[in-house]
Amino acid sequence: MLKHSSTRLALLRGAGILLVTLGIVHLVATPHIATLIRHSASPASAEQLIPPMLLNHVVVGVLLIPLGLLTAYAAPHAASGASWAQVTVRTIAMSVATLPIVLFGLMGTRHYFDAPLFVVGAALTVIVAVTLLAVAFAR
C-alpha cells in the first residue's frame, strides 16, 4: 500500500502531531464539561458528577500527549523497518482505533455535535485512527 518510506514517515509523524493536538483539545475542553454538567443536573448531582468527569477528561488528555509524542518519535524508525518502532506504532494504532468506536458507541450523535470542541475532537479522533491503522500496518 505505502511503498515510499518518506510518505509513511510523514503520515506517522502527522498522526503523532494530531494525537498531541487531540490531547490539547481534550484539556482545553475540560472546563466546558463542568459548565455542561452544572446546566444539565441539579446542584447536588453536579457536585457529585463534576470531579470524576473532570478527572477523566484530564487523564485522557494527558495520556494522549505522550502517545502522540511517542508516535512521532518512533515514526522514522518504523518507516525504516525497526521492529521496536513497528510494534510501538502498531500498538498505538490499535489503541487509538478503539477511540472512535467507543466515542460514537457511548455518545451517539446527540446534541454534542452542537459543541465545536466536540466536533473537532471527534474529527481528530477518526482521522488519527484511520491514518494510524493504514500506515502502521502498511508494508
Q: What are phi and psi of 115, to 5 degrees?
A: -95, 120
- Alpha carbon distance 139, 124 (integer Å): 25
Place of cell 466515542: 103
- Which of the 8 DSSP states describes residue 110? S
* Of 14, 68, 58, 12, residue with least CA distance to 34: 58
Decide: residue 84, CB within 10 A, 0-12 exposed, 13-18 middle, 19+ buried. exposed
The pLDDT, as a whole number, for residue 65 is 97
The pLDDT, as a whole number, for residue 2 is 52
Which pTM value belongs to this model? 0.86
pLDDT mean values, one per 10 residues, the chain (139 residues): 76 95 91 87 91 91 96 95 96 94 81 78 90 90
